[in-house]
Every structure is written in structure tokens, then in C-alpha cells.
Structure 1
Amino acid sequence: MARTGARSLRELAALGGTLALLALGYVLQLLGIVLSGAALVVAGAVLGVLTDVLLLRWQRGAARRLGRAQMTAPVRQLLRDALLLGGLARLDALRPDGKGAWLLVAVLGCWALHFLCQAVAGAVRTRRRLPFVIRNIDATGLGLTPAPPALFARQGTLRLTAVGALVTAGAAVSAGTGDESAAALVASCCCAVLLAGTAWLGTWLLPRRRVADEERALAWLDGWLAEYRPTVALYFSGGTSSAYQANMWLSTLAALDGQPLIVLRERFMVRKLGATDIPVLCLPKVAHLMRLEHSALRVLLHPANSGKTSQALRIPTLKHAFINHGESDKLSSCNPYAKAYDQVWVAGEAARERYRAADIGVEDKDVVEVGRPQLAPIRPARPGPAPEMLTVLYAPTWEGWTTDPGNTSVILAGENIVRALLADPGVRLLYKPHPMTGSVDPRAREADMRIRELVTEANARRTGPRPGPETVAGLERAAVELEELTLSTARPGADEVERMLAQSRPEPGHADRVAQATAAWEEAYWASLPDWEHQVVTGPGPGIYSCFNQSDLLISDVSSVVSDYLVSEKPYAVANTSGMSEEEYRTAYPTVRAAAILTPAAEGVPELLETVRHPERDLLAEARRALKVHLLGPAEPPSLARFNAACLALAAEAEARNARQAAQARELEPVDAEAEVEAEHELNGSQALAEALGDDDRL
């Protein structure tokens, strides 16, 4: 808590310092007017401009807070310009002759053109906003065009700050020389640039650069859905830090039979999604989402619950399966929301028992065991004796949305566990906290920061050989190759429409190449690190499965990390911070039945390390093998085959349901009496003619 307070104080100090600089600039300008000092007026304006540059470049949080207080960049600049021009005019630094009037008109023209540019930019952005976002889909017919210049279309604050800086510089020269020509010339040039830029920006409103309107775009979407005929889709909605929940399923979705599709609800999520060759369709509005009802799509797979999930559940022609983004014994793995789906797909028998015991309305017949197909990259334990330097992975989960003290070990046990591991000279620690650690409870964030400091201090006390320059160069080459494959094909200033245009025709097999390059980078990454050096692993890479493959032992919490790690059959331990006894803990959480249980004080860490160094002392090996099958299902048939079969079976159920509904609709169609009588007359006439012609010529 002390560190949280310190961080808050630093943020407040930064905001206070920024406000002080802004206030000082205005005070200097006012003093210059009162004390008849043109230099003070100009100095205050220069200080104000520099402060705005500081806000724009390094203090965006402070800028947002000022904006909420109505002290936006235009307000700050307008006040500064008014004091500058008014003050210089009053002090006779700007004479009321032709040049002074010229300067005043030029500055006012800059402001007028700035607001005109803002209005045109708003109109351009509105007309370039399609009702959906696509990726990996041929966009021919949507009229997509490159984005207008960002300085005029989207960077209004930067544009205004640049103009303000130039006008202030010109005014400073004029104040020093007593000649208004410099200031007037600079302001006039700014006017000319703003006028030309606004006119250029306006060309994006012309028909040749205008993208399809909503009606045309939705008609195009209907046509694409009819042509592509998707059969199974991954449906995802979430926040900026939750994309991993969808990314873990991309390779599985790509391997399914049929025509896969990814359906997103937030526009930003299109860029957060990992490398994939699967068509991506983002439908922010629920009205547009409903168009999937009339497509060939039959199955929606849901890796997470969200507020927008209920909107997709309204589509009656689809069947919905909850596949989750990881299984554990936590209460969140048995959310009552799961009963809203047609089926709940789980890894193995343990999850079925979990739902049965939770008694939340999920019927046993709707639970389908499909395994965990994305666990294929996890390698089994290395045969032979344990290495001289053990690699221990400490991967605690985050605190979750509940107040359960057993959710994460970071707060109560994290530092003790890390200290015990760092105290052993034969251990290399890999610390990989959950990306959402500290997002709910500040105590978790502060404990996480202290653990990182412990790792840094421990590394300072260690020495040893480091990989040679060739190894480091190999990592750099792998990083360059991966960056080239994952770098957006759109230019840095591209907007959403231009990115869609750049990503509309992916190269076949691109996702496979990215996967291979990622694996090569991860291998080079580990090779570039000393095998004695502790590591804090954060960010998008290396992934958790790569950390699994490096480790000899896992220490974690009750989470999906434990279940996934069991694929390797390596030893693992779980920190019990729930307040239960060990017996109660093992009974309550089946995933820990084959684990070593650590107390919050972490007293059992030395004994745990000895069981890893001496496998003959490992009494839980057989239990891990049995628990692996119980949690993740049998090895045969392969998980991917079971997952694919479940998709096909659920699609068949959707087809059968839709066929029944169509048959009922036909039965309930009103009968046209006149048409029925006319048809009967035609039939009678045909029969009479056939009888007259004879059997051989019967119609």
C-alpha cells in the first residue's frame, strides 16, 4: 500500500508540476502587460507552448485530466494567443498600422481554418466509418481508399500546437525587432498551409474517394456471407487486455472442417487479434450482428462470457457452445451463465463433475468432453536425471473479480515463495505474472513490483558465463524475421479503412509462417539468456507454453495454468492461501490432488526442490498421470479430432432444428383459395385430355 501511495503521489506531482508551468506562463504574460514588459509577454507564451508540447509527448494522462476540466488544448492556446496579441498591442510592440492588422487577421484566420479543418475532418471520418470491420476478406466493392493525411484528419491537437509554436516564435521575433512583419508572415504561411491542407482533406468527401455507404456496405456483407458460406465461427467480445482468450483458439479454429469465421464486436479487437488466415468480421452493432441469422453459419464458439454474448444468443438459427479460455477449479469456471449455451465443451471428466457439483442449471447431457487441442506445443518432461540448474516457473494467476483470498498467491505468499527459490543457488527462477495482475486489487500490483525487485537484486549477486555474440545475433535475426511477418502492411498513418484495404488479401499460409517464426524466436530467446540468470517474463512473448517447456517445476495457483501444465507430467506445486487445511484444499480443488501444497510462508519449498532433483523421491508421479487423463481426457482419439466432431455434430443439430422450423412454417402458411380452385380445374382438364388421347400419349 505504501508503494501505491508513492505512485499516486508521483502522478499528482507530475500533474501539479504541469499545472504550475501552465499557470506560470499565463502569469508571466499578465505581468508583462501590467509591468509593460513585452519580453515577459512573449516568455509566458513560449513557456505555455513548451508545456503543451510536454503534455502532448510525455504527459498524456495529465492532458486528459485537464480536458475533463475543460482546459483543452484549444482553450489553452486561445487564451495564450489572446494574451500575447493583446499584450503586445497594448505595449505598442505591435502598432495598429497595416502590418498589425495583417497579423491580427492572419492569427484569426489560423483559428478559423483550424476549426474548419476540424469540421471537415469529422465529416471525413464519419463517411469513412463502415458499419463493420473486416480482415482477411477481399474488400472489392467497398470502395476502400488510402487514409487522408493524419495531421489534418486526426491529429488536431498536434496541428494546433505546431501552429501555436510557429506563431509564438514569429511574435517573439517581432517583439524583439519592433517589426510585425515576421509574425505576420509566419501566421500567413500557417494560414496558407491550413487552407491547402483543409482543401486537400475535403477531396476525401468527393465520390471518387468515398467508401460505400451503410446500405451498400451491408448489401456487400450479405453477398460475401452468401458466397463464403461460413459454417463455424469463434465469437468474441472483451477488453483491451483480453485478446489472449481468443488468440489461444485461432490454430484450433483453422484446423476444423468447414468454413471458419471469427466474429468480433469491438473495432479495436481486430488489431489485437493474432496472426490468422481465417476471415475476421467485426460487427459492433447488434442490428448488423443479426444478419448472421440468414447466413450458412450454424455454430458459434464462445471462449468467454461478456455483456454482448446475450446479443449473439438471440440468433435462433445458430447453436452455441461455451469453450472457455481455460479450465480450473475456480468458481469462475462454473459460471451460471453457462446454462445459456446449447452446450458446454470441457476438457475431461473433472470439468463435468465440477458442473454437476456446482448445480447451476447446466444439464449433464449438455456437457461435451473435447480435450484441449491447443496444448499440443507443450513437451513432456525430459528423460534422465534432473539438470544441475533447476528452472522453476512461478506463474501465479490474478486476483479475479471476487474477494476470495485464495484466488492469487501473489499477495500473501508470492514474496515468500520467490525468496525461498532465490535462496537456492541451484535454481533459476522464471517469474511470469498474469497480465491482469493488480488490475483489481492494488495489493497484488504492489506485491508484483516487489517480486520483480527481488529478482533484480538476486541477479545482481550472481555471475556466470553469458552466451556469445553469435547467439545474440541469432536472436536479432529471429526477431527481425518475426517482425517482418507480423508488421502491419498498412503505413503508420493508416486509418481503419486503409488497414482493411491492406489486410484484405492475405498470403496463403501466412499464419503458419508466423507460428514457425514465433517458435524460432522463442528458441533463440531462451538460448540468448544465461542458464543461471533469473527472468521476469512479461509481454506477448515468450508465451506460457514456451515457459512450460523451459521449466522443471511449476508453482502456481488454482488456475488453468495447472491443468495445462499436467500435459507435461512434470512436478507442480500450488500455494494454498485460502485458509483451508491441506485436506480440505485437496478435496475442494481436484486439480491440486497431484500437487505439492505450499503454505503462505512457503516452508515446503526446499523439500519440493529435492523431489525434483531426485525423481525417486517424487511420490506424486503416478497421481499426475492419472489426473492428467481425468482433467484433460484420454490421448486417443486426439483432442482436435474430438473437438472437430463436436463442431460437426452441433452443426447437424442446428440444421435439423432449422429444417423443423421451416417445415412448421410451411404447414402454417395460409392457403390461397382461388389458386387452389384454379389448380384443381387445370388438373381435371389435364386428366380429361389424357383420357381422350389414350394411355400412350398421356400427359
Structure 2
Amino acid sequence: MRDEPGATAVPVPLPRRLPRRQTAVKLLVLGVPAAAFLAQAVGALLPHLPLLLAATAGSLAAEGVLYRWQRDVLSLFAKSHADVTVRHVLRDLLLVVGLLRLGEQDRETVYAPLVAGLLAFYGLHCAIQGVSVLVHRTRTLPVVTRNIDASALRLSPAPPALLRRPGHRLPVFGLPSTAGLLATAATDAPVYGAAGLALSLAVALAGLGALLVRLLPGRRPAGEQEVLDWFEAWLAEYRPTVGLYFSGGASSAYQANMWLEPLAKLDGRPLIVLRERLMVQRIAATDIPVVCLPKVSTLMRLEHSTLQVLLHPSNSGKTSQVLRIPTIKHTFVNHGESDKLSSCNPYVKAYDEVWVAGPAARERYALAEVGVEDKDVVEIGRPQLDAVRPYAGPPSGPYTTVLYAPTWEGWDGNPGNSSVAAAGENLVRALLADPGVRLLYKPHPLTGSVDPRARAADLRIRELLRAANRERTGPRPEAATAAERERLAAELGRLTAGGSRPAADQMERMLRQSQPQPGRAAAVARATAAWEEAYWASLPPWEHQVVTDARPTLYSCFNRSDLLISDVSSVISDFLASGKPYAVANTSGLAEDVFRRSFPTVAAATVLTPDATGVPRLLETVRHPERDELAGERAALALRLLGPAEPPSQERFAGAVRALCAAAGEHRVRMARRLADEPTAPWQTELPAPRHEPAPLTTAAPPEGPGLR
């Protein structure tokens, strides 16, 4: 569909000041404890007992509120070098100053033991922190695993969280002493301060002893060399054949998770190789062994393993480190395909092969001329898309469900990357203007991470949906459906937690997840499907939704929607598997015909301008398929982007893995044979034939011109 000329434009809304309001709230929250400390100082120096008591109590109450509801404000204090230790010491110091200035002149002698006890307590706090760091180092192993029996490493549960976190430990351990000093100031009875200090000292000594016990030789986990020897022995026993290599931040875990199921369905012995420790728990439920190798020296031990192929769903700075292993073949499988430059990154020529979904990606690499040879491109389809349901006809109920799933703004500042800032509010307002629309808004997890305008627009879009929901009424599902969703959520949480408690550290989680549990991934998949059904059933069919959590998944949103509005991204390619209509927001500044030629994934889309004038007509084509002129083009585009339906994508993926494993095996045989021959000189080694015959050298004739004849 093309946008109708002359249609009424949706006015661009004035920006709301939500970010400034949040800043004002943070400043107010920061001002409360600061005012309490100022009042405490005034009460101690005057001295004024009621003010000192009230300010100290207010300061303690403010600390509790910050820890309970305003954790982000605590980081602002820390950046100002006013962390919890400084605040607690200042609070106690002002109490001591107040005690010394109140009443008789001989108070220095009376309260000297209390001051000494307070100093001793802070000394113990520093000692606990030092020992805690040592314990943490002994519990930081060079290899972190999941689904691998690591009982030989003498793993143990984590120390209490209170002993590991100074920001929590000092206020809790120091509360009795502060309360005792406060009572002494109120009653002029040193016994209360002494009792409070004695309790704080006793608790601190007990905590220090509990940590010191963990440093005893018999209580320590395995050392670094012992762990590395164990890891090499496990590799020799398991004999992995194909692996998934991933390095990235917490928000990028979805890029690896989308390949878990296709990897698990392969024959052989798969393995997941990670580089960041935090990613071990971000990887979704799987029966595949998971190893995290943070150090390059540990990673290089894979060179002498049986691992033949590594799949790479994304590029990262640490990818170059594993590419140095010559015994492993590397293939780039990507985490989605689009027409953006990131989908034909020149970096991918470093891999042995590049696996793509269909012919369109092959053409994209050829046209980009980034050094990827056509013979190294393998079409495997998209095995993840089995979860996407095919088109089943126009909306049958009173509401047309529209999924607005924009991508993020990217690193290059191109305004055409994301529609959130330039067109998002107009699109949402135009959709909300239709009473028969139910909108699902699922922004990219990185939205607003680069451009603050996108972050502000995202917040305003969410507020628009909340306001629209307040104006709508209708029947709500029975309470039993919400209860069933909560029950399934608890069951899913139990399955995905793997038996770990919230306070567990890395080693404890490794201990609890060390025993392989065959079938757990299938159980999680069934529980996830049941939860998603319960999730949608528990929501009113007329209520707009903002979907930002990992669940429900993007594909689940596909299945619930009748129309997709997105940007030029891999979301479009995946949505084509459903056969449903889709639209793309053109915020690039290009004319529509140029926009379509520049981005082949837009060929079967309705192109929407930033003012969203084409939304009403787009909705009509969704509700009346006979007016949909792009259905045939969508089918043809799906074939170009995703490849044929037969043979199934999973089968093609498995065939590509087998072929690359065979190539890796042949390479190892050739290398072993050459080493066994032990040539006397490098030039005596038989070299493989070049990929192409070198072009003949030609001498160009000099150009003619004055003085050149």
C-alpha cells in the first residue's frame, strides 16, 4: 500500500517533561538525607538534644527508604564519595560530638570507652571487608560451568550475603551501636551505648570468624591449576563437536538464546562457550553443557579439544581471540538479518563461512563487496521460526491487534535506524485514534541507550498507552486466569532458577546447576508455552500492552498480532514467516521509491511516513484482505529472505554443520600429516591451490597530453 496524498496529518505532539520530573524526584530524595545530616550537625554543635535525636532518627529512616525504594539514588551518593560507610561514620561521629558537648565538662572521661568501642567496631568492619575480598577471590574460578558435574572442584554454598556486601553489612551490624548511642544521648545513661556497642562488636566478630573459616586449607575450593586440569579432563571425556560462541552484555543474551534450540537438536555433542561470567545465568534453560572461559589463556585450551565448529551469532571485540584457534572452523550465523549495513559487516570475512537464511542475504553480501566470497555463503533458512504461526485470516473479534516493534537507534546516528524518536508518537496516536485497535508496544531492549531523544520518546509512548487504557472500559478475565498465570510463573521461575537462591554467588549457582538434568529444557519450553497462553488469557482483549520483559517473547507477540509496524530490521524478516501484513516507518528522509529500492525487505510492506497519515488505510487492508494488494509480494519476499520451506530449515542447518565439521576434520588430518612429514624447509611443503588464478599483470599506456607524447 502507498500513503494517500492529501490525507489529514496527525499533529506532532509537544514533548512531555517526564525525564525532568524524574530528575526533580531524585533531587528531592537526595535532599532529604542531606537535610537530616545538616540538622544532626546543628543539633550536635549547638548542642540541642531534641534536634539531634530527631535528625538522627530521620537519617536512619531515610537510609531504610533508600535501600527499599530508591536504589539508584544510592549510586549517586557513591559517585559523590558519600557511600554508605561515609554516611554511617558521619552519623555516629555527630552522635559522639553531641554526647561530648551535652551536659557536664567531664563527659570526655565518661564516654571515652564508648568512643574506643566505636573505633574497634569500624576496625572490625574493615577487617571483615578485607577477608571478604580474599574469600571472593578463592571462590572466583577460572572456568564457570552449567550442566556439567563439577563436584570434584570442592564447590560450596556462598557465605551469607550480609558478609559479602559492605553496603548492607555496615548499617545492619552498626544499627545496635547507633541505637545505643542515640539512647545514651536521650537518657544520659552510658550503659545503653555500651550495650549497643557490645552487640555490634559481637556480631562483627562472629561474621569475621565465619569468613576466616572459609580460608582454611580444607575449606577452600580447588585452585586455578586444579580447575584447569579438571576442565581439560572433562573436554577429553565429553569430546564436543560443535559449539556456540558468545560474548556480549546482559541485554544481548537474546542473540545467543535464539540458537539454543536449533543447536540442541543437532546430532553430536554440542557445547556453549561464553566469555563473560554474568552471561552464564543469562543463557536460557538448556540441556547443553555451558562453559565460561573469561581468560584468553583458558580459551586457547579449546585448540587441543575435539571441538570442530563454532557458531557465532554476533561479533564482539573478543571474537578475534577465538578466531586464532586454527583447529576449529568458524561460521557466522547472525542473530537476525536486515538490510542495514550491520547485516553485511566487513568483519564477517574473518570467518570460514557465513550462514544466511535465503538468497537475499547472499545478494546483500555480493552487492556490499566487503570481502565475503560467494562460495563461503551457505543458505540454511531460519530454524527458529518454527514457533511463528502462519496467517489464519483477518481479525475475527472486535479488536485488531497491532504490534509496534521498533528497533533501536544504532551507533551511527542515522535517523532512519529507529522510528521511535521521529515517528513513534505519531504512529501510536494514529493507532489509538481507531477504537478497534489494540496495540502491543515492544521496543528494542537498547532503545534510548545512545540517543536521549529516543529514550524520552519511548517514555512518552508508554504514557500514551497508559492514558488510553484509563479511558477504555470493558470486560476483564476472571480472577482465576490471573491466579493461573501467577502459578505458572512460579513454576517457570522454579525451573529456570535451577535450584539457586537469590543470594547465591557464582560458585554456589555452579554447584547447584552442576548436575545435568536431561529433559529440563523441554520442561521449561512446555512451562513457557503454558505461561504465555495464561498471560494472554489473563489480559483484557481491549487493553493496550507495553511488553518489555523477556517473556512473552517476540514470536509470541507475532502470534497474537494481526499487523506489524516496525523499522528496517530483522524483525521484518522473521515476521514474514507468518504471512501477515506489515508496515515499515520511513524516517530516513528518502523518497518512498528510493526507500524501497534501498531496502529490499520493504518490498512487500506498506511504507508509513513520519506523520502516520497512512495508518487508517493500512488498518482497512488488514480487516479486509480483499483490499490487500501485497499478499503475493509477501510470499515471494519470504522465499527470498528465508529460503524454501523444503527441506526444513533445521535439516539444512544440520547439513551445514556436518559439512563444516567434515572440513575441519580434513584440515586436521592435513596438518597432522604435514607435521609428521617434518619437511626440512618451508618451501618443501605442498601448499593448497589458490582460490583464484591471479590476474595477469598489464602495463597501462600513459595518458596522452601536452608534454607526454
Change (3 A) 1:433 1:31: closer
Change (3 A) 1:346 1:116: same
Which stretch of the first structure deviates more once superposed, 61-70 or 544-553? Answer: 61-70
Which stretch of the first structure deviates more once superposed, 534-543 or 257-266? Answer: 534-543
| Candidates 549, 555, 569, aligned match of 2:579 | 569
The 2-side partners of 1:159 and 1:470 are apart by 42
Superposed displacement of residue 337, structure 1? 0.8
| Candidates 441, 447, 456, aligned match of 2:451 | 441
| Candidates 154, 159, 162, aligned match of 1:148 | 159
Change (3 A) 1:95 1:513: farther
Which stretch of the first structure deviates more once superposed, 44-53 or 485-494? Answer: 44-53
Change (3 A) 1:94 1:203: farther
Change (3 A) 1:57 1:3: farther
Superposed displacement of residue 28, structure 1? 3.5
Superposed displacement of residue 586, structure 1? 1.3
Q: Deviations over 1:191-250 (max 9, x none)?
A: 111112211211111123210000100000101111111111111111121111111111
The 1-side partners of 2:147 and 2:104 are apart by 61
Residue 696 of structure 2 aligns with which residue? none
Residue 706 of structure 2 aligns with which residue? none
Residue 74 of structure 2 aligns with which residue? 63
The 2-side partners of 1:594 and 1:542 are apart by 27
Residue 691 of structure 2 aligns with which residue? none
| Candidates 121, 128, 147, aligned match of 2:139 | 128
| Candidates 555, 573, 591, aligned match of 1:581 | 591
Q: Which amino acid aligns with 2:517?
A: E
The residue correspondences of 1:231-250 to structure 2 (distance < 5 A) are 231-250=241-260
The residue correspondences of 1:493-642 to structure 2 (distance < 5 A) are 493-642=503-652
> 1:281 aligns to what SS in structure 2?
strand
Residue 455 of structure 1 aligns with which residue? 465
Q: Which amino acid aligns with 2:434?
A: D
> 2:153 aligns to what SS in structure 1?
coil
C-alpha RMSD of the superposition: 2.2
The 1-side partners of 2:215 and 2:261 are apart by 41
The 2-side partners of 1:454 and 1:59 are apart by 25
Superposed displacement of residue 622, structure 1? 1.3
Contact 1:406–1:578 (8 Å) recurs in 2: yes
Superposed displacement of residue 550, structure 1? 1.1
Contact 1:131–1:283 (8 Å) recurs in 2: yes
Contact 2:420–2:458 (8 Å) recurs in 1: yes
Contact 1:49–1:161 (8 Å) recurs in 2: no
> 2:176 aligns to what SS in structure 1?
helix
The residue correspondences of 1:31-70 to structure 2 (distance < 5 A) are 31-70=42-81
| Higher relative contact order structure (alpha carbons within 8 Å, sequence separation ≥ 6) | 2
The 1-side partners of 2:153 and 2:502 are apart by 22
Superposed displacement of residue 468, structure 1? 2.4
Any unmatched runs of 5+ in structure 2? 1-12, 682-709
Residue 272 of structure 2 aligns with which residue? 262
Radius of gyration: which is bigger?
1
Superposed displacement of residue 421, structure 1? 1.7
The 2-side partners of 1:459 and 1:5 are apart by 21
Q: Deviations over 1:408-461 (max 9, x none)?
A: 112222222222222222222222111211111111122222222222222233
Q: Deviations over 1:50-94 (max 9, x none)?
A: 343344333433332332333232223223323322431243479
The residue correspondences of 1:5-154 to structure 2 (distance < 5 A) are 7-8=19-20, 10-11=22-23, 14-15=26-27, 17-18=29-30, 20-92=31-103, 100-152=111-163, 154=164
Which stretch of the first structure deviates more once superposed, 161-170 or 120-129? Answer: 161-170
Q: Which amino acid aligns with 2:602?
A: V
Residue 306 of structure 1 aligns with which residue? 316
The 2-side partners of 1:12 and 1:414 are apart by 26
The 2-side partners of 1:385 and 1:9 are apart by 40
Q: Deviations over 1:143-193 (max 9, x none)?
A: 1011112212x1212221123332121112212222201110110111111
Contact 1:45–1:168 (8 Å) recurs in 2: no
Residue 295 of structure 1 aligns with which residue? 305
Q: Which amino acid aligns with 1:188?
A: A
The 2-side partners of 1:338 and 1:293 are apart by 21
Q: Which amino acid aligns with 2:423?
A: A
Change (3 A) 1:452 1:349: same
Which stretch of the first structure deviates more once superposed, 45-54 or 634-643? Answer: 45-54
Change (3 A) 1:106 1:385: closer
The residue correspondences of 1:464-483 to structure 2 (distance < 5 A) are 464-483=474-493
Q: Deviations over 1:570-614 (max 9, x none)?
A: 111111111112211111111111111111122222222222222
Matched, 1:181 2:196: no
Residue 697 of structure 2 aligns with which residue? none
Matched, 1:367 2:377: yes
Q: Percent identity?
A: 58
Contact 2:357–2:641 (8 Å) recurs in 1: yes
The 2-side partners of 1:169 and 1:222 are apart by 55
Change (3 A) 1:23 1:445: closer
The 2-side partners of 1:333 and 1:51 are apart by 50
Residue 7 of structure 2 aligns with which residue? none
Matched, 1:281 2:291: yes
Residue 698 of structure 2 aligns with which residue? none
Superposed displacement of residue 293, structure 1? 0.6
> 1:379 aligns to what SS in structure 2?
coil
Which stretch of the first structure deviates more once superposed, 212-221 or 424-433? Answer: 424-433
Residue 199 of structure 1 aligns with which residue? 209
The 2-side partners of 1:184 and 1:648 are apart by 74
Any unmatched runs of 5+ in structure 1? 672-699
Which stretch of the first structure deviates more once superposed, 405-414 or 366-375? Answer: 405-414
Q: Which amino acid aligns with 2:23?
A: E
| Candidates 317, 327, 330, aligned match of 2:327 | 317
Change (3 A) 1:211 1:12: farther
| Candidates 395, 418, 425, aligned match of 2:405 | 395
The 1-side partners of 2:494 and 2:173 are apart by 36
> 1:345 aligns to what SS in structure 2?
strand
Q: Which amino acid aligns with 1:645?
A: G
Contact 1:138–1:504 (8 Å) recurs in 2: yes
The 1-side partners of 2:32 and 2:151 are apart by 52
Contact 2:287–2:518 (8 Å) recurs in 1: yes
Which stretch of the first structure deviates more once superposed, 594-603 or 302-311? Answer: 594-603
Contact 1:94–1:179 (8 Å) recurs in 2: no
Residue 5 of structure 2 aligns with which residue? none
The 2-side partners of 1:323 and 1:175 are apart by 69
